[in-house]
Amino acid sequence: MARKGKVVINRELCKGCYLCIRACPVKALERSTEINSTGTYPSKFVDAGGKCVACGNCYEVCADVCMEVYECL
């Protein structure tokens, strides 16, 4: 059985560099359409269809350490 994952992003810490979006092999992240308090569009987890495999690539490239990756059982 393939791993399933979930990403939790702290919208207020995200500066909108989108490195995590580029690093996601299954395209489970995208740019938010809502501005945070710093005036940027943060990344958001949009895992439609359960594509996330909890690989942690997004976490590894995040310079702001604003996300957590969980493996779902």
Closest CA to 5 of 28, 36, 22: 28
Selection from 28, 57, 22, 61 nearest residue 44 by Cα = 28
Supply the CATH number for residue 31's domain: 3.30.70.20
pTM reported for the whole predicted model: 0.89
Tens of pLDDT, residue by residue, the chain (73 residues):
678 999 999 999 999 999 999 999 999 999 999 999 999 999 999 987 789 999 999 999 999 999 999 998 7
pLDDT at 47: 83
Which residue segment(s) compose the domain that 36 sits in? 4-72
Number of domains within the chain: 1
